[in-house]
Chain A
Amino acid sequence: EAQVTQNPRYLITVTGKKLTVTCSQNMNHEYMSWYRQDPGLGLRQIYYSMNVEVTDKGDVPEGYKVSRKEKRNFPLILESPSPNQTSLYFCASSFGPGSNQPQHFGDGTRLSIL
Chain B
Amino acid sequence: AQKITQTQPGMFVQEKEAVTLDCTYDTSDPSYGLFWYKQPSSGEMIFLIYQGSYDQQNATEGRYSLNFQKARKSANLVISASQLGDSAMYFCAMREVAGRRALTFGSGTRLQVQP
Contact = CB atoms under 8 A, between A and B. Distances in A.
Interface of A: 31, 33, 35, 42-43, 45, 48, 50, 56, 58-59, 88, 90, 92, 97-108, 110
Contacts of A59: 102
Contacts of A90: 45
26 contacts: A33-B103, A42-B107, A42-B108, A43-B91, A43-B105, A48-B100, A48-B101, A56-B100, A90-B45, A92-B103, A97-B101, A98-B33, A99-B33, A99-B52, A99-B95, A100-B33, A101-B33, A101-B95, A102-B35, A103-B103, A104-B47, A105-B37, A105-B44, A105-B47, A106-B44, A107-B44
**Which of B29, B33, B45, B107 has the largest count of A CB atoms less than 10 A from its CB?**
B45
Interface in B30-47: 31-33, 35, 37, 43-47
A73 to B, nearest CB: 20
Contacts of A31: 101
Given A42-B105, A43-B105, A102 B50 contact: yes
Contacts of B52: 99-100
Nearest to B96: A99
A99 B53 contact: yes
**Which of B47, B91, B106 has the largest count of A CB atoms less than 10 A from its CB?**
B47
A52 B82 CA distance: 42
B97 interface: yes
Contacts of A103: 35, 47, 95, 103
B51 to A, nearest CB: 9
